[in-house]
Structure 1
Amino acid sequence: MACYVDTVREYPGAGLRFTRFCHLLADSRDELHAMADELGIPRRYFQDHPWRWHHDLPEPLRERAVELGAREVTLHEVGALLRRRRAELGMS
């Protein structure tokens, strides 16, 4: 699976059970959904967008995602991934 997790960041105003999240991304939606299923993340939490689709991953699940094969990436690498997706859609 080509899935990725970026750096954990604090979101104190999120109003959720967890306040520390990272992003779970993948090269394809199918790969992302498969990883989310493995992690027990309900599909309703999928953040759909033409090129920025992802899941916000609570910090406690990040290590498990890495154990399942998600690659740890920098914010710079996330930016490159999102630019590639956007270009594939013809939206420079």
Structure 2
Amino acid sequence: MTVYVDNYRCPATVGRLTGRWSHLTADTPTELNAFAARLGLRRAWFQARCRYASCPAPDGVCVHYHYDVVDSMRTRALAAGAVSIDIHGFGALIASRRAALRPAGEVTR
């Protein structure tokens, strides 16, 4: 299993925290939450509810599951073993998760 952190670095203010935000994700939600706990991220920050009607969400966990992290936490995640990917790599992970949940033989556009 692998944990990934992308290079999105979108500038935003969330609450009182202003920074450049990236996505921390993993091959499974369980692995992601364990890794995030080791980094000191709160479980309440886990994002797993889908906003898209076209996204399958078995067991209530959307294929877009991730934590948003600022640059300092991104650096800590990389030092702890996360793999750096670009934003397109993050999109490819989401697409492969979605494809794995489609019924066999279903055609996509």
Q: Pick the TM interval, shorter chain.
A: 0.7 to 0.9
Task: Give me the whole-angstrom Cα distance separating, in 1, the residues matched to 2:28 and 2:70.
Answer: 21
Query: Given residue 76 of structure 1, which amino acid in structure 2 is its aligned partner?
Result: H
In structure 2, the gaps of 5 or more residues are 50-61
Higher helix proportion (structure 1 or 2): 1
Aligned residues: 91
Q: Calculate the aligned-residue CA RMSD, in Å.
A: 1.6
**Aligned residues of 2:25 and 2:66 also touching (Cα < 8 A):** yes
Secondary structure, aligned partner of 1:56: strand
Match of 1:63 among 75, 80, 93: 75
Measured after TM superposition, the shift of residue 25 of structure 1 is 0.7
Query: Given residue 74 of structure 2, which amino acid in structure 1 is its aligned partner?
Result: R
TM-score between both structures, scaled by the size of structure 2: 0.75
Asked if residue 54 in structure 1 is aligned to residue 66 in structure 2, the reply is yes
Higher strand proportion (structure 1 or 2): 2
Q: State the 4+ residue runs in structure 1 displaced beyond 6 angstroms.
A: none
Task: Give me the whole-angstrom Cα distance separating, in 2, the residues matched to 1:19 and 1:89.
Answer: 34
Task: Give me the whole-angstrom Cα distance separating, in 2, the residues matched to 1:76 and 1:17.
Answer: 26
Task: Give me the whole-angstrom Cα distance separating, in 2, the residues matched to 1:18 and 1:59.
Answer: 11
Asked if residue 11 in structure 1 is aligned to residue 23 in structure 2, the reply is no
Task: Give me the whole-angstrom Cα distance separating, in 2, the residues matched to 1:4 and 1:58.
Answer: 14
In structure 1, the gaps of 5 or more residues are none
Query: Given residue 84 of structure 2, which amino acid in structure 1 is its aligned partner?
Result: E
TM-score between both structures, scaled by the size of structure 1: 0.88
Aligned to 1:24: 24
Task: Give me the whole-angstrom Cα distance separating, in 1, the residues matched to 2:18 and 2:77.
Answer: 17
Task: Give me the whole-angstrom Cα distance separating, in 2, the residues matched to 1:38 and 1:20.
Answer: 21
For the pair shown, the structure with the greater C-alpha radius of gyration is: 2
